[in-house]
Chains A and B, each alone.
Chain A
């Protein structure tokens, strides 16, 4: 029996499951039955001992069997129909535009990096991009095209297949929505309506038709909530085989969704909150003993924490494994990692730094770059030569390590002297012969600290303020008993001898007179943080042999942590200028009311154009549902507090709480956090929330119909559902040009501009 059959079967015939759940249930479960009216709660039927059973429960098994088979076949028909619809909408005319559309420029480009194996940096985790890379590799893409935004695909790039590959993820959405609602106890009608709403939403369809990350994110999100619904279904039969399967499926999908985009962590939060509630519920059951509690906790920790973490990390293992060549993302990682990339220029350098070596110094603070100097002087303060941090590589970053004034060092292979921890050194800027210098003059931006300047002509004006002590903080290579200063592997501080302060990147930029490069100060308040840490990046010394590659290896965990921090930083750096109008960006309050659409490509009259807009039937009505739902809930809660009973069975209310919790809670968790995000937000950030909202709409219609008309199958309820479905399909077709692309002037679609804020065409032109 497949997973789907299991849950489908579980709905109608719980009897098949009772062998598996010997844990909790005594053999008191009533004979399985299917009651149309109680279909929402059928999954609970077996432990429902307070409910008086209808007398007709002893129906012959044959009839039950027939009914079950009929239902199963109905499920399968629904699923197949939805899948066909999805495939049709997702695949139709998918290669219509032969240009790089929207963020395909980024994501196909990143996929290409996996083909080329060059290291890049991006704000998203690697899984979805690796899948795009896989689709490119499957087409035999040779990595020669750079996917520049708006450019045409060359003949040798099979972009249609790449898009098809991606769209197939998007096509799974509707069947999964159907299965989720069935699993949550909805009637097939409501579930089918949810499937239709998801299938015929223009926005979900449009975004799936291009090689973007969102289709995969949506697919994994849908998988997570489907597995969660399975978990919910079997919550009364813990440790049964089906329960384990769904638990495992939940863990795996959480791992996948989090590895596709960080938005996936919102799905993790949903499952986490659900699980915590379940455990709290369990805590109140006196009959559950401590050992049982332990197993409940242990299985969930393994399945819902350990497995997702393992998958997330595994994605990064593959990511690092595939990207072994130096590329545009090198600078985000630390020097030691870069040394492991082919072609980074950091290989074949001598390992131990000796006096007389020419080195560059890299700050551990991202953004500070390399210690730099140039011939410009400070405009005030000491008016000596500027010392800055500079991210680009040039010869003004080169420093020579020398001994303190008055001492000399050997300059042959035999007499060479290595720099060790605690040594006093002088750093001489190679191009200008200035010594790295500090003195009791206030800094230029950070006025609490001392200035760093370039002073003297090498040894011509000896000054104690040119002397720095090496303080090794961390050693990443092995076998270094003398604590020598090593290229890349040693992280150290430079302490100024005269002022007892440390060389530090202040994290601020100098003004225009220093070309806005990073400020360097001598910190006198002992902020011994990352900003004071340095390592040698480039090292040239003809007297020394190059290091063996094995000596410069960075550990996976270290790279993993570093890359994730860099991703978080880049993500937070995506802050919009709040005074600037951005045609692509939109804010969270615009989404549910469909205030804005988005042009996905250039808008020339003759080109194929796509306009990202939702299906108003789905978007606006689902917004209405998520607003009305809580109001309705409040109504019942207030009535309950007044002692008024609206529900014949307490279970009915409880089930409503659970299902609303998963669907409405999923919407809220995928939507509300965007208000708190400082980064720029786009319309497609709402899509996972919309998926939940669409399912909630279907559920809400059914539930309200049940409350008003008394049954999910009442003609009025059915009529509303059919009306909704037809309206959604009709509206989808009406907006289809936006989704499938149109190559005539946008003005021809002027009638579809329903809101004045929609930028289908420029009114000014």
Chain B
């Protein structure tokens, strides 16, 4: 802090009143030693400065006044260095005893009726299911990193879960299915419980008094949102736990700052790094934590830079230590958890389709095997779209309902016979080849060759012409269709030039000759000069919701690249060279998984009945319904007083800093009751953490939920207690105690008031209505019986309340029906079910890409096929008559 002071000082040479720069700068080091420096004529400031550097002096009065918690000096040890007494941070026995009692209460509060409800609640649908996948070892895809889910899997394993129950929908019964769900819920509940001591120790390490630490621990204990979220199989408890652990070790690290490179110093620093990595491996929200620690590291390093007692060599050591612990270690931890993730999920599963073939090849049960490497004319091939994992170039006996109404060409995710294409020469080339000396020799396809692709099953040729595709209707996009019939010689609109863009550097010639798997190539339509392209757009029902393929002019490369995955040709000798997919390294796999997670995460834009935007969180505009059955329900809502006061604390901190900024500029150096340094070091750190855990959400387009605010909330609660501690120290002990008790009592009172919807325990309608301070808190009070009705039987008014399906996040199969039910004044359910969300879910979309295609009745189609052939022939005749848009001239030129 001393450095910051002198920094501020130095920026305004005018205030120094005639001291030249050199004096001020050298004054810095003397200031660090605690010597009063004649920097300012302002006596009060000078005096404060002399004392303020050692904030324990600033608090000296309260040691006698406020020593009610029998705290020893160390609880008031300043955060930063520059202290004369380098006493080691420790927590006294009495404090441990206090903490023990708090823990007893917290254990009761946090673990009470963990078994209730014995049903699948909210996103347990996903995370329970994912735990099962780990136990089964089948690969799945999720938008979150793996650690928290693996912890659930481990808990499930310990509790005896066998991975069979599939957590399909909210409300499924656990007991009947014999799922050891209590064991699985115990894991987050214990993590949630450990937030209580973490809070205590963090506050103590940040230099707050023992009574404040206890208050903080109790506030966290009785906070309903943290409580609700940590009792269920949800990821946030793990995330908040690791966030808390990181912040705690970071605060402890600073208590060691006067003994750099000591054992404890290294220990705390490394533990900070490890837990940063863990938090990041639970959810990407951990990135905000990294930003928080990063900002504070930079600030600290900057101040150290000005501390001339640190030599450049030492400074370099400081720098390297932090870089290693806070950058390298988190990365290693993140990679490590992914390594565990990949090695546990070694079997093929429903997540395959999100990944590249190289990745899939590493899973057992997927055997992409090998295929003859060289591709010859006459080969039967399966062609995969390279940029998207949307599937293979596909055709089937259905026609477009738009444009040319010719046969559809699509991308299809599953391997079937309709993916096979035969590569043939153009008619002229074929003729030349037949007349050549070696008409029967195999001829390899080279870069620049013009080929035709014949669909193996339907004998249509891959064709394009000046028609707009069904979904992408830009004028630079052409429709791609299957055209022709058996025996038809084709026309020049079937001609595609093979343009090889990438090869495998290890395989010579793979950039010149077409090779399976190694070669990435474009198919450029000769007449239209457009490249075969796909953009993950789905065709409508008539296209069996498969992915559109079009031909795009001046397309950029990535989405026009194709690869041959299997290559069949009876004439290829058995000894011919083979090609197979490379096996990616761990880092490549993590990068790929991360890229897919990022893409899908950004695509989660479907609207959800309980989504909320960040600006509504701090003042808790609305909660989230998790579960409801009979006359009980679970609804995520915080303890209002804690949310509001903690938010106010952060706002006040910001306002005070702004005022101080301008007052400093005018030459007033306010001391804030002697607490200014501590206010910055403790509350300032927490507030910056809060900002970095909240503001970035505004930039996110994806659906967001109230529980995304919880890490920020925890930081804000600490800031609240910290501010309360610092600014009540000058009050009499009694007043301070009264204020703290009042806050605690109000919190506990509200905890009890809202505990019914936190635990899903019975409630009365009157109690519910009374607690509903805002209309926007939309938990359903009519669910609860009126007080007059003694029996817990559901009231006569609504004997047949239907089981309401609960929404979950991103669950494709459920979640269209919001739980909010409108009731009129009489409590009758108004027939008003909001219709399903209108945006499609990309996850669902992506899943659907990989579902088996709807049954196409071959018989039916075959009977149809004669008719189609006839139509096409008819069309061809009209083409000859010259009134067709379909490139009539080329058609004739092709000699038809």
| A642 partner residues in chain B, CB cutoff 8 A | 305-306, 308
- Asked if B554 is at the interface (CB within 8 A of a chain A CB), the reply is yes
| A37 partner residues in chain B, CB cutoff 8 A | none
Of the candidate stretches B18-26, B785-793, B859-867, the one touching chain A is: B18-26
CB pair B835 A645 closer than 8 Å: no
A579 and B552 in contact, given A642-B308, A643-B25 (Cβ under 8 angstroms) = yes
CB pair A643 B554 closer than 8 Å: no
CB pair A645 B21 closer than 8 Å: yes
Among A286, A578, A580, the residue within 8 A (CB) of B554 is A580
CB pair A643 B306 closer than 8 Å: yes
Report the bound CA distance from A295 to B830 in whole Å: 63
A283 and B402 in contact, given A442-B835, A579-B533, A642-B308 (Cβ under 8 angstroms) = no
Expressed in whole angstroms, the minimum distance between the Cβ of A713 and any Cβ of chain B is 27
| B245 partner residues in chain A, CB cutoff 8 A | none
Expressed in whole angstroms, the minimum distance between the Cβ of B305 and any Cβ of chain A is 5
Report the bound CA distance from A283 to B533 in whole Å: 61
Report the bound CA distance from A580 to B558 in whole Å: 10
Q: Which of A283, A284, A583 has the most CB of B within 10 A?
A: A284
Q: Which of A284, A442, A579, A645 has the most CB of B within 10 A?
A: A579
CB pair A577 B474 closer than 8 Å: yes
- Asked if B666 is at the interface (CB within 8 A of a chain A CB), the reply is yes
Expressed in whole angstroms, the minimum distance between the Cβ of B312 and any Cβ of chain A is 8
| B554 partner residues in chain A, CB cutoff 8 A | 580-583
Among B14, B21, B305, B476, the residue within 8 A (CB) of A580 is B476
Report the bound CA distance from A448 to B607 in whole Å: 12
- Asked if A641 is at the interface (CB within 8 A of a chain B CB), the reply is yes
| B558 partner residues in chain A, CB cutoff 8 A | 579
Tally of A interface residues using CB under 8 Å: 26
Q: Which of A286, A642, A650 has the most CB of B within 10 A?
A: A642
Report the bound CA distance from A643 to B27 in whole Å: 10
| B13 partner residues in chain A, CB cutoff 8 A | 650
CB pair A284 B665 closer than 8 Å: yes
CB pair B14 A284 closer than 8 Å: yes
CB pair A447 B556 closer than 8 Å: no
Report the bound CA distance from A579 to B553 in whole Å: 10
CB pair B835 A448 closer than 8 Å: yes
Report the bound CA distance from A638 to B12 in whole Å: 18
Among B22, B302, B470, B540, the residue within 8 A (CB) of A645 is B22
Among B474, B552, B555, B662, the residue within 8 A (CB) of A283 is B662
Taken residue by residue from 471 to 489, chain B's Cβ proximity to chain A (1 for < 8 Å, 0 otherwise) reads as 0011010000000000000
Interface residues of A in 257-287 (CB under 8 A from B): 280, 283-286
CB pair A641 B302 closer than 8 Å: yes
CB pair B665 A447 closer than 8 Å: no
- Asked if A408 is at the interface (CB within 8 A of a chain B CB), the reply is no
Among B540, B552, B838, the residue within 8 A (CB) of A446 is B838
Interface residues of B in 658-705 (CB under 8 A from A): 662, 665-667
Report the bound CA distance from A516 to B838 in whole Å: 18
CB pair A643 B26 closer than 8 Å: yes
A-B contact count (CB 8 A): 63
- Asked if B577 is at the interface (CB within 8 A of a chain A CB), the reply is no
- Asked if A407 is at the interface (CB within 8 A of a chain B CB), the reply is no
Taken residue by residue from 560 to 601, chain A's Cβ proximity to chain B (1 for < 8 Å, 0 otherwise) reads as 000000000000000001111111000000000000000000
Expressed in whole angstroms, the minimum distance between the Cβ of A287 and any Cβ of chain B is 10
Report the bound CA distance from A638 to B303 in whole Å: 11
| A448 partner residues in chain B, CB cutoff 8 A | 834-835, 838
| B540 partner residues in chain A, CB cutoff 8 A | 511
Expressed in whole angstroms, the minimum distance between the Cβ of A603 and any Cβ of chain B is 16
CB pair B305 A641 closer than 8 Å: yes
Expressed in whole angstroms, the minimum distance between the Cβ of B824 and any Cβ of chain A is 15
Among A511, A580, A638, A643, the residue within 8 A (CB) of B555 is A580
Interface residues of A in 631-650 (CB under 8 A from B): 638, 641-643, 645, 650
| A643 partner residues in chain B, CB cutoff 8 A | 25-26, 28, 306, 308
Residue of B nearest to A512 (CB): B402
CB pair A447 B305 closer than 8 Å: no
Expressed in whole angstroms, the minimum distance between the Cβ of B182 and any Cβ of chain A is 40
CB pair B666 A283 closer than 8 Å: yes
Report the bound CA distance from A579 to B537 in whole Å: 13
Expressed in whole angstroms, the minimum distance between the Cβ of B800 and any Cβ of chain A is 23
CB pair B306 A641 closer than 8 Å: yes
| B666 partner residues in chain A, CB cutoff 8 A | 283-284, 286
CB pair A579 B556 closer than 8 Å: yes
- Asked if B559 is at the interface (CB within 8 A of a chain A CB), the reply is yes
Residue of A nearest to B303 (CB): A641
Report the bound CA distance from A578 to B402 in whole Å: 25
- Asked if B314 is at the interface (CB within 8 A of a chain A CB), the reply is no
Residue of A nearest to B534 (CB): A579
Interface residues of A in 610-656 (CB under 8 A from B): 638, 641-643, 645, 650
| B21 partner residues in chain A, CB cutoff 8 A | 645, 650
| B667 partner residues in chain A, CB cutoff 8 A | 284, 286
Report the bound CA distance from A669 to B664 in whole Å: 29
Expressed in whole angstroms, the minimum distance between the Cβ of A1 and any Cβ of chain B is 33
Report the bound CA distance from A605 to B83 in whole Å: 80
CB pair B556 A283 closer than 8 Å: no
- Asked if B882 is at the interface (CB within 8 A of a chain A CB), the reply is no
Q: Which of B25, B26, B662 has the most CB of A within 10 A?
A: B25
| A581 partner residues in chain B, CB cutoff 8 A | 554-556
Interface residues of A in 485-540 (CB under 8 A from B): 511-512, 516
A638 and B305 in contact, given A512-B402, A579-B559 (Cβ under 8 angstroms) = yes
Report the bound CA distance from A448 to B839 in whole Å: 11
Residue of A nearest to B559 (CB): A579
| B470 partner residues in chain A, CB cutoff 8 A | 512
Report the bound CA distance from A579 to B552 in whole Å: 9
Report the bound CA distance from A448 to B838 in whole Å: 7
Report the bound CA distance from A580 to B554 in whole Å: 6
- Asked if B827 is at the interface (CB within 8 A of a chain A CB), the reply is no
Taken residue by residue from 539 to 579, chain B's Cβ proximity to chain A (1 for < 8 Å, 0 otherwise) reads as 01000000000001011101100000000000000000000
Report the bound CA distance from A512 to B834 in whole Å: 27
| A445 partner residues in chain B, CB cutoff 8 A | 838
Expressed in whole angstroms, the minimum distance between the Cβ of A44 and any Cβ of chain B is 14
Expressed in whole angstroms, the minimum distance between the Cβ of A492 and any Cβ of chain B is 27
| B160 partner residues in chain A, CB cutoff 8 A | none
Report the bound CA distance from A638 to B306 in whole Å: 9
Report the bound CA distance from A283 to B138 in whole Å: 66
| A511 partner residues in chain B, CB cutoff 8 A | 540
Report the bound CA distance from A701 to B610 in whole Å: 59
CB pair B302 A447 closer than 8 Å: no
Residue of B nearest to A508 (CB): B838
Report the bound CA distance from A650 to B667 in whole Å: 20
Expressed in whole angstroms, the minimum distance between the Cβ of B812 and any Cβ of chain A is 17
Expressed in whole angstroms, the minimum distance between the Cβ of B556 and any Cβ of chain A is 5
| A447 partner residues in chain B, CB cutoff 8 A | 835-836, 838
| A283 partner residues in chain B, CB cutoff 8 A | 662, 665-666
Report the bound CA distance from A285 to B12 in whole Å: 10
Expressed in whole angstroms, the minimum distance between the Cβ of A410 and any Cβ of chain B is 42
Expressed in whole angstroms, the minimum distance between the Cβ of B742 and any Cβ of chain A is 40
Report the bound CA distance from A581 to B470 in whole Å: 22
| A512 partner residues in chain B, CB cutoff 8 A | 402, 470, 473
Report the bound CA distance from A579 to B666 in whole Å: 55
CB pair B838 A580 closer than 8 Å: no
Residue of A nearest to B837 (CB): A448
Report the bound CA distance from A643 to B302 in whole Å: 13
Interface residues of A in 738-760 (CB under 8 A from B): none
Residue of A nearest to B560 (CB): A579
Residues of chain B at the chain A interface (Cβ within 8 Å): 7, 12-14, 21-22, 25-26, 28, 302, 305-306, 308, 402, 470, 473-474, 476, 533, 535, 540, 552, 554-556, 558-559, 662, 665-667, 834-836, 838
Please list 17 pairs of residues, one from A and one from B, whose beta carbons are closer than 8 Å in the complex, sorted by A's number.
A283-B662, A284-B12, A286-B667, A446-B838, A448-B835, A511-B540, A512-B473, A577-B474, A579-B558, A580-B555, A641-B302, A641-B305, A641-B306, A642-B308, A643-B28, A643-B306, A650-B21
In the complex, the 3 A-B pairs of residues with the closest C-beta atoms, listed nearest first: A643-B25, A284-B665, A581-B554
